[in-house]
Amino acid sequence: MTAAAVDRRVIVLTGATRGLGRALVDEFAARGHTVLGCGRGAARVLALQQALPAPHVFAVVDVADDAAASAWAARLLDTHGAPHLVINNAALMNTVAPLWEIPAADFGRLMDVNVDGTVNVIRAFLPAMIAAGRGVVANLSSGWGRSTSPRVAPYCASKHAVEGLTGALAQELPAGLAAVAVSPGVVDTEMLRQAWAEDAAACPKPRDWAPGAADVFLGLGPADNGRSLRI
């Protein structure tokens, strides 16, 4: 499926205000798609809405808050209908340290966003997509969702969970829909610099990554259900 075949799609994107999400917003909008995005920072969300006004919609939402995610989805479903593509991109990286030195609150918050937040968004949008008989849920994974490294155990645990829940969800979906785990590859973002500061600068920038990544996301369809892909 080509990008042209999915023109004018409605795309839900979490973590839209920075890094990979922000780069994808610009790329999708430039291709004529409608982006319905969220982030946690009010100033960044306002700047995004001013830069990309209607039909795009951006809101302050903490996806770890199930009630907030549900209310956000209800507003968007009422005005835009079932999305064609939901990209669960919002995530946190832990402060690099041995697992036993990670405070319980920090570990819990990371899992709340990376895992619970992904499920909250799926729970909020997927029933409408099932009723429409089409749509793709793309959950951002990581190389660390398929391998491990020291000092990033909480992040590894969260992305392994995303891989597992995506695979199980794929087995539950009716025909016409797809759930796909997508590893973005290694990109120079704030999150990567937090974990790998000495080498992050040598990696591709989000704006350079976004065109190829958008091709991958827009090309996803029912035949990709259950796949684990890497950009």
Residues 230 and 145: their CA atoms lie apart, in Å, by 11
Q: For 81-227, where are the alpha helices, taking DSSP H only?
A: 104-111, 117-132, 153-172, 190-200, 206-219
The two tokens of residue 207 are 């704006």
Catalytic residue among 28, 58, 144, 155: 155
Q: Is 155 a catalytic residue?
A: yes
Residues 8 and 100: their CA atoms lie apart, in Å, by 48
Residues 86 and 100: their CA atoms lie apart, in Å, by 35
Closest CA to 59 of 15, 20, 97, 113: 15
Q: Note whether 129 and 177 are within 8 A (CB).
A: yes
Residue numbers annotated as active site: 155
